């Protein structure tokens, strides 16, 4: 047994998993409140990455580079993803709030297809290299085999983001309103919470997290394309389901488990079937334990 | 019918249902005899609908026995059986919050009730075999007859969603009757009805019992309706059964009066 | 005035939204930056106009809800209610369909016939998915996988066992059905939206397996030299082959319509619809959920498998690229656009979605963009589809019922 190899895979899995976790949070928060699989969430992530790519691309071609550019690109990406997430909810989901359950889901699929093709047409369907913005930290040299500088940035940023999210949900006004709405939307409305605003805020927060994930992953893999949102979206959704959809810590746990499972599968079995492991895990969890690892089984009200 | 009068149809013993840590029903006993109309009353949240869901197979009870003794059939314990099997065995229900099939016609809604009494297969349906044609004919005729009984024959071809509220409740009853039950369970059939509609419902329930020769268990908040038509009444509060007896006994029962004191008694 | 102001604001908002993506194009490979400011103007004007119209439509929709207009009889409903007229229309359509290849093709040019064959293949797919999604309400996002099963079944059986087209046609359908049962069995008790995601996963897995299992499925390159349908050993030239394929798939379309129509108004069809409308009420009324759902799922898969064989035979060659999520989404768009459950609607939508991009080349590039938008807009403004499903009326006078066989069909 090659423990070094295993450890290498584990580190890779955790890095990958923390990205999944960031995207999964968006799914889980939206699902928790309006019971909708926001199918277009992966597209919001992709748009975040693409906007960052455009900013970073223009900047690097004008001669700037380094972490500052990455930061600036990330800020613009976050603003744009948030704006897209907000608009998406207003157009594609809000008019369907009281429609039969499948309607918003079909609308979400339509929105996802639309956004993907919109970026493809406005930009390009090809893969483009993402500028290298994370410098090689010298102190990382000894453990570079396990964790690159970009990986380190990912781990730090995701940890900080999740901490911030926890504070937001636990202690702020909007966070409390979100929790109340998640428990009982009708009741929350009755006690004077502006539910529409809470839902918008949820989409915005989810989109911000997705944008951060998009920028991080693009700067790590070093390439970008309009179709990256689709697969990342499904995997993040898998992570959300794995942890128990609607459950915020569950999404993080699910992301990590999925990331590790995928890397181990790819490392020990076959990298060509990497995506199959994720999907198979999704199918298995839904069949065996649809409430997820941390979720509680909910009895449907009759 | 006379000798049948006292034969037991439904026998519930120590029925208990937990949701997580919450005990929604706490060892409730209930019997229903042939030809009876029995009411299950109690304040909101007493566990009445959960009781229905346990008996009809929507939930699997945590403990206790639900036994049925169909007239002329085999007695069985039905805990944890799928709802469709229980319906096939002869118990049919309506829902508190109306659950019709809104984009199907009124007649089709009732025809669904015949599903478990017919056997047309996919192949039959594609080839329009003799059996398919005959069963369809019978299904349509019987469904139509039931619509006449509840006074909805004129709306047979309308979409169920376009019916008025009271009519939707009656359609639910017709749909349940289409399954040929020996016991009909009605979950707040008068909810949202005006006094005029309620008194019509009163007549309808009594008429159904007489014509279809079945027993009825109903959950209802409308005390006038309950006292009018019930042979016996069970009272639940906080998941427990606190009293049972004839309408007169229940009216004078101290516990029941206490249970209802805080609660507004719907007259 | 308020409308105008709002629309103006929305126009500005969309100009902001689209600013980086439609204006700047960075090519990090060639180190070029393109600034396309004129695009922004178009977005602004377009968003303004759409916002204007959108508010108008939303208000109208709200008004329509409030007054609960009795469902006006649609064109399809009126057709269905008038047996003489509907029979005439049907016969007319059938006549046109039958003479079509002779009208549009000459000795060398049979392009239109080939286009029509692909379109009709999608009509069958649309009608098959209509059973699963439209009638039974099971959202299947990996439907194209069953199409792939049929196509690869034929390609492999003809290559390895030398089986002919006509032997493989039913086998392809049965394989599709078998896969439907195997996959459907564990997943059909899942709630609607989970089911959608799991089927999406299955679709993706199917494609990955096809791409990577080179030894059996030929990998990304696919399988070539798949024999065309044979006709009693006759040698057919290119055009004749296409025309022959056309008639085969036309017959399949007819068969699908016939079967779906029979099933739709049967005991089983009613049970499907009841499950679509309300699962709990259905099981409480005695419908066996697992079995009924499985039958809808497997039957949908059957048609996909069947027509997959025709697809492989007509194209001579298949590879995994024909079986992507976008293809599943396109079939779904046909069902949504046409009207869930509506046979006529799905046929028209399938023909429109396949033929428009083919003949309006300018449109082809924007095809998926438009499909996506259409799916959103249909759900908001016309969830019943272009042609809403018609319900059959039954006559119930007991006396009339004696001569049961009569014309209850209303086909």
| Contact between chains at A105 and C196 (C-beta distance less than 8 A) | yes
| Contact between chains at A110 and C374 (C-beta distance less than 8 A) | yes
Q: How confident is the model at residue B38 (pLDDT cuts 50, 70, 90)?
A: very high
Do C312 and C220 share a domain, yes or no? yes
Higher pLDDT, C87 or B102: B102
- Of the listed ranges B208-222, C226-240, C264-278, the one predicted with least confidence: C226-240
In this structure, is residue C343 part of a structural domain?
Answer: yes
In this structure, is residue C390 part of a structural domain?
Answer: no
As a whole number of angstroms, the distance between CA B19 and CA B188 comes to 23
Best to test chain A binding among C379, C381, C384 (most A CBs inside 10 Å): C379
Do C48 and C87 share a domain, yes or no? no
Residue C230 belongs to what H/E stretch? none
In this structure, is residue A150 part of a structural domain?
Answer: yes
Count the domains in chain C: 2
* Residue C66 reports pLDDT greater than 70: no
Q: How many CB atoms lie within 10 A of CB C398?
A: 11
Q: How confident is the model at residue C253 (pLDDT cuts 50, 70, 90)?
A: very high
Per-residue pLDDT tens digits for B228-242: 899 999 999 888 888
C-alpha dist (Å) from residue C340 to B101, B143, C143, C200, C368: 15, 26, 16, 20, 20
| Contact between chains at A122 and C332 (C-beta distance less than 8 A) | no
In this structure, is residue C405 part of a structural domain?
Answer: no
Q: How are beta strands C32-35 and B91-93 bridged, if at all?
A: unpaired
* Residue C409 reports pLDDT greater than 50: no
Torsion of CA C81, C82, C86, C87, to 10 degrees: 120
| Closest by CA position to C266, among listed B142, B129, B173 | B129
As a whole number of angstroms, the distance between CA C197 and CA B266 comes to 47
Q: Does B108 touch chain C if contact means CB atoms closer than 8 Å?
A: yes
**How many A/C residue pairs have CB atoms within 8 Å?**
174
Q: How confident is the model at residue C73 (pLDDT cuts 50, 70, 90)?
A: low
Per-residue pLDDT tens digits for A254-294: 999 999 998 888 888 877 788 888 888 888 888 788 777 77
Write down the pLDDT at residue C29. 79
As a whole number of angstroms, the distance between CA B133 and CA B140 comes to 11
Query: Which of A58, A92, A107 lies at the smallest CB-CB distance from C24?
Result: A58
In this structure, is residue C176 part of a structural domain?
Answer: yes
Instruction: Collect all residues of chain C within an 8 Å Cβ-Cβ radius of residue A90.
Output: none
Do C207 and C89 share a domain, yes or no? yes
Best to test chain B binding among C295, C390, C396, C399 (most B CBs inside 10 Å): C396
Task: Name the phi and psi angles at B27, rounded to 5.
Answer: 25, 80
Nearest-neighbour CA in chain C from B2: distance (Å): 30
* Residue B254 reports pLDDT greater than 60: yes
Count the domains in chain A: 1
Q: Please say whether the beta carbons of C261 and C390 come within 8 A.
A: no
| Contact between chains at B107 and C401 (C-beta distance less than 8 A) | no
* Residue C405 reports pLDDT greater than 80: no
Do C165 and C309 share a domain, yes or no? yes
Q: With a CB-CB cutoff of 8 Å, which residues 179-208 of chain A face chain C?
A: none
Q: Does A145 touch chain B if contact means CB atoms closer than 8 Å?
A: no
Collect all residues with Cβ–Cβ distance below 8 Å to C207 and sequence separation of at least 6. Answer: C145, C148, C320, C323, C324
Task: Name the phi and psi angles at B168, rounded to 5.
Answer: -65, -40
Write down the pLDDT at residue C275. 92
As a whole number of angstroms, the distance between CA A282 and CA A278 comes to 6
The parent domain of residue C47 ranges over: 2-52
| Contact between chains at C187 and A102 (C-beta distance less than 8 A) | no
Both tokens of B140, joined, read: 């349509």
As a whole number of angstroms, the distance between CA A292 and CA A272 comes to 27
Per-residue pLDDT tens digits for C121-171: 999 999 999 999 989 999 999 999 999 999 999 999 988 888 888 889 999
Long-range contacts of residues C40-46, Cβ cutoff 8 Å, at least 24 apart? C40/C15, C43/C14, C43/C15, C43/C18, C44/C11, C44/C12, C44/C14, C44/C15, C45/C11, C46/C14
Do C237 and C128 share a domain, yes or no? yes
Do C34 and C112 share a domain, yes or no? no
Query: Which of C266, C286, C391 lies at the smallest CB-CB distance from B87?
Result: C286
Residue A271 DSSP symbol: G
Instruction: Collect all residues of chain A within an 8 Å Cβ-Cβ radius of residue C57.
Output: none
Instruction: Collect all residues of chain C within an 8 Å Cβ-Cβ radius of residue B80.
Output: none
Collect all residues with Cβ–Cβ distance below 8 Å to C6 and sequence separation of at least 6. Answer: C51, C55
Q: Please say whether the beta carbons of A65 and A71 come within 8 A.
A: no
Question: Which chain C residue lies closest to A233 (C-alpha atoms)?
Answer: C197
Please compute Rg for chain A using Cα positions. 19
pTM equals 0.87
Q: Alpha-carbon torsion B97, A241, C141, A107, what sign?
A: positive
Q: With a CB-CB cutoff of 8 Å, which residues 6-25 of chain A face chain C?
A: none
Write down the pLDDT at residue C197. 84
In this structure, is residue C34 part of a structural domain?
Answer: yes
Q: Does A299 touch chain B if contact means CB atoms closer than 8 Å?
A: yes
- Of the listed ranges A19-33, A168-182, B232-246, C394-408, the one predicted with least confidence: C394-408
Q: Does B161 touch chain C if contact means CB atoms closer than 8 Å?
A: no
Question: Once rounded to an integer, what is the mean pLDDT over residues B6-18?
Answer: 88
In this structure, is residue C76 part of a structural domain?
Answer: no
As a whole number of angstroms, the distance between CA A154 and CA A217 comes to 8
Write down the pLDDT at residue C296. 93
Write down the pLDDT at residue A123. 87
Best to test chain C binding among B56, B83, B155 (most C CBs inside 10 Å): B83
% chain A with pLDDT above 70: 96
In this structure, is residue A294 part of a structural domain?
Answer: no
DSSP B57-108: TSS--SEEEEEE--TTS--EE-TT--HHHHHHHTEEE--SS----TTSBHHH
Best to test chain A binding among C11, C376, C377, C383 (most A CBs inside 10 Å): C376
Token pair 């898998």: residue = A238
User: Complex ipTM, two decimals?
Assistant: 0.89
Write down the pLDDT at residue C77. 63
| Closest by CA position to A60, among listed C22, C29, C36 | C29
Higher pLDDT, C103 or C216: C216
Q: Please say whether the beta carbons of A116 and A46 come within 8 A.
A: yes
Write down the pLDDT at residue A227. 87
* Residue C404 reports pLDDT greater than 50: no
* Residue B34 reports pLDDT greater than 50: yes
Q: Alpha-carbon torsion B137, B143, B149, B155, what sign?
A: negative
Per-residue pLDDT tens digits for A180-219: 888 888 888 888 888 999 999 999 999 999 999 999 988 8
| Closest by CA position to B178, among listed B205, B148, B142, B211 | B142
In this structure, is residue C401 part of a structural domain?
Answer: no
Per-residue pLDDT tens digits for B167-190: 999 999 999 999 999 999 999 998
As a whole number of angstroms, the distance between CA A202 and CA A210 comes to 12
Q: Please say whether the beta carbons of A161 and A24 come within 8 A.
A: no
Q: How confident is the model at residue C78 (pLDDT cuts 50, 70, 90)?
A: low
Residue C292 sits in a domain of what CATH number? Answer: 1.10.3470
SS3 B25: strand
Write down the pLDDT at residue C103. 76
Write down the pLDDT at residue B3. 44
Higher pLDDT, C204 or B5: C204
As a whole number of angstroms, the distance between CA A196 and CA A100 comes to 19
The parent domain of residue A171 ranges over: 3-288
Q: With a CB-CB cutoff of 8 Å, which residues 79-138 of chain A face chain C?
A: 80, 83-84, 87, 91-92, 95-96, 99-107, 109-119, 121-124, 128-131
Question: Which chain C residue lies closest to B177 (C-alpha atoms)?
Answer: C285
Do C240 and C298 share a domain, yes or no? yes
Per-residue pLDDT tens digits for A6-62: 888 888 899 999 999 999 999 999 988 888 889 899 999 999 999 999 998 888 888
| Contact between chains at A302 and B20 (C-beta distance less than 8 A) | no
Per-residue pLDDT tens digits for C279-295: 899 999 999 999 999 99
Do C20 and C165 share a domain, yes or no? no
Long-range contacts of residues C105-109, Cβ cutoff 8 Å, at least 24 apart? C105/C239, C105/C242, C105/C243, C107/C239, C108/C239
* Residue C399 reports pLDDT greater than 50: no
As a whole number of angstroms, the distance between CA A291 and CA A219 comes to 34
| Contact between chains at B59 and A299 (C-beta distance less than 8 A) | yes
Query: Which of C268, C273, C404 lies at the smallest CB-CB distance from B125?
Result: C268
Instruction: Collect all residues of chain C within an 8 Å Cβ-Cβ radius of residue B98.
Output: none
Q: Alpha-carbon torsion A174, A175, A180, A184, what sign?
A: positive
- Subunits with at least 3 CB pairs below 8 A relative to chain C? A, B
| Contact between chains at B95 and A302 (C-beta distance less than 8 A) | yes
| Closest by CA position to C297, among listed C168, C146, C150, C123 | C146
Could you tell me which residues of chain B have a Cβ less than 8 Å from any Cβ in chain A?
Answer: 19-20, 49, 53, 58-59, 95
As a whole number of angstroms, the distance between CA A240 and CA A258 comes to 10
- Of the listed ranges B3-12, B21-30, C220-229, C314-323, the one predicted with least confidence: B3-12
**DSSP-assigned beta bridge partners for residue B186:** B218
Residue A114 sits in a domain of what CATH number? Answer: 1.10.3470
In this structure, is residue C394 part of a structural domain?
Answer: no
């Amino acid at each position: 047994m090659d423990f070094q190899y295993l450890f290498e895979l584990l580190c890779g899995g955790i890095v990958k998993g923390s990205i999944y976790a960031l995207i999964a949070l968006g799914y889980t928060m939206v699902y928790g409140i309006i019971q909708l699989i926001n199918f277009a969430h992966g597209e919001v992530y992709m748009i975040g990455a693409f906007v960052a790519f455009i900013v970073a691309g223009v900047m690097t071609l004008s001669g700037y580079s380094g972490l500052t550019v990455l930061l600036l690109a990330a800020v613009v990406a976050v603003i744009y993803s948030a704006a897209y997430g907000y608009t998406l909810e207003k157009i594609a989901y809000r008019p369907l709030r009281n429609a039969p359950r499948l309607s918003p889901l079909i609308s979400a699929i339509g929105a996802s297809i639309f956004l993907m093709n919109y970026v493809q047409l406005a930009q390009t369907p090809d893969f483009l290299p993402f500028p290298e913005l994370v410098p090689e930290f010298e102190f990382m040299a000894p453990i570079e085999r396990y964790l690159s500088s970009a990986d380190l940035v990912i781990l730090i940023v995701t940890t900080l983001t999740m901490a911030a999210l926890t504070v937001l949900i636990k202690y702020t006004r909007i966070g409390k309103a979100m929790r109340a709405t998640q428990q009982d939307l009708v009741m929350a409305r009755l006690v004077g919470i502006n539910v529409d605003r809470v839902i918008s805020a949820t989409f915005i927060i989810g989109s911000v997290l997705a944008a951060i994930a998009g920028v991080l992953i693009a700067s790590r893999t070093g390439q970008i394309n309009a179709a990256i949102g689709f697969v990342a979206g499904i995997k993040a959704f898998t992570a959300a389901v794995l942890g128990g959809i609607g459950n915020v810590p569950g999404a993080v746990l699910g992301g990590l488990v999925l990331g590790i499972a995928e890397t181990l599968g790819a490392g020990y079995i076959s990298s060509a079937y990497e995506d199959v492991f994720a999907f198979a895990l999704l199918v298995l969890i839904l069949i065996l334990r649809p409430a997820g690892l941390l979720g509680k089984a909910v009895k449907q009200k009759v | 019918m006379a000798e049948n009068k006292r034969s037991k149809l439904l026998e519930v013993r120590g029925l208990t249902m937990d949701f997580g840590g919450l005990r929604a029903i706490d060892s409730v006993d209930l019997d229903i005899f042939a030809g009876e109309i029995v009411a299950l009353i109690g304040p909101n949240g007493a566990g009445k609908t959960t009781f229905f869901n346990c008996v009809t197979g929507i939930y699997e009870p945590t403990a206790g026995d639900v036994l049925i003794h169909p007239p002329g059939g085999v007695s069985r314990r039905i805990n944890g059986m799928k709802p469709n099997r229980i319906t096939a065995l002869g118990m049919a229900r309506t829902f508190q919050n109306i659950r019709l099939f809104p984009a199907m016609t009124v007649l089709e809604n009732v025809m669904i009730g015949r599903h478990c009494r017919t056997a047309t297969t996919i192949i039959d349906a594609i080839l329009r075999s003799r059996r398919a044609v005959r069963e369809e004919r019978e299904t349509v005729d019987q469904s139509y007859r039931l619509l006449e009984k509840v006074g909805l024959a004129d709306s047979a071809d309308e979409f169920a969603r376009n019916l008025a509220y009271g009519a939707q409740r009656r359609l639910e009853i017709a749909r349940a009757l289409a399954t040929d039950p020996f016991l009909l369970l009605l979950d707040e059939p008068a909810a949202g009805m005006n006094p005029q509609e309620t008194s019509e419902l009163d007549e309808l329930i009594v008429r159904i019992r007489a014509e279809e020769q079945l027993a009825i268990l109903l959950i209802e908040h409308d005390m006038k309706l309950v006292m009018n038509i019930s042979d016996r009444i069970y009272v639940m509060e906080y998941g427990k059964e606190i009293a049972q007896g004839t309408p007169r006994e229940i009216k004078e029962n101290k516990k029941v009066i206490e249970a209802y004191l805080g609660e507004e008694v719907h007259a | 005035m308020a409308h105008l102001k709002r629309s103006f604001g929305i126009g500005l908002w969309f100009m902001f939204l689209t600013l980086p993506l439609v204006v700047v194009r960075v090519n990090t490979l060639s180190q070029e930056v393109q600034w396309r400011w004129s695009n922004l103007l178009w977005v602004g004007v377009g968003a303004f106009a759409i916002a204007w119209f959108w508010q108008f439509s939303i208000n109208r929709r709200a008004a329509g809800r409030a007054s609960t207009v009795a469902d006006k009889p649609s064109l399809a409903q009126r057709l269905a209610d008038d047996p003489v007229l509907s029979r005439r229309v049907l016969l007319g359509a059938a006549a046109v369909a039958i003479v079509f290849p002779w009208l549009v093709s000459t000795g060398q040019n049979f392009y239109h016939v080939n286009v029509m064959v692909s379109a009709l293949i999608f009509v069958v797919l649309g009608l098959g998915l209509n059973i699963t999604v439209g009638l039974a309400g099971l959202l299947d996002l990996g439907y194209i996988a069953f199409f792939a099963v049929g196509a690869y079944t034929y390609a492999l059986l003809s290559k390895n066992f030398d089986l002919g087209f006509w032997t493989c046609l039913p086998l392809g359908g049965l394989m599709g059905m078998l896969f439907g049962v195997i996959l459907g069995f564990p997943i059909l008790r899942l709630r609607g939206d989970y089911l959608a995601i799991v089927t999406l996963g299955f679709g993706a897995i199917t494609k990955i397996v096809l791409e990577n299992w080179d030894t059996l499925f030929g990998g990304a390159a696919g399988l070539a030299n798949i024999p065309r349908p044979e006709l009693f050993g006759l040698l057919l030239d290119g055009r004749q082959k296409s025309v022959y394929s056309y008639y085969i798939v036309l017959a399949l379309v007819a068969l699908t319509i016939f079967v779906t129509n029979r099933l739709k108004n049967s005991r089983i069809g009613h049970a499907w619809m009841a499950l679509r409308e309300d699962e709990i009420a259905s099981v409480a009324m005695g419908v066996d959920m697992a079995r009924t759902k499985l039958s809808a799922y497997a039957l949908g898969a059957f048609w996909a498998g069947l027509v997959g064989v025709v697809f492989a035979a007509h194209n001579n060659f298949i590879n995994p690229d024909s079986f992507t999520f976008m293809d599943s989404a396109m079939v779904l768009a046909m069902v949504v656009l046409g009207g869930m459950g509506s046979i006529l609607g799905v046929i028209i939508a399938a023909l429109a979605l396949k033929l428009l991009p083919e003949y309006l080349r300018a449109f082809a590039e924007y095809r998926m963009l438009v499909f996506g938008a259409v799916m959103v807009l249909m759900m908001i403004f016309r969830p019943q589809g272009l042609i809403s499903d018609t319900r059959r009326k039954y006559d119930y006078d007991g006396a009339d019922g004696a001569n049961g066989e009569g014309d209850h069909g209303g086909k």
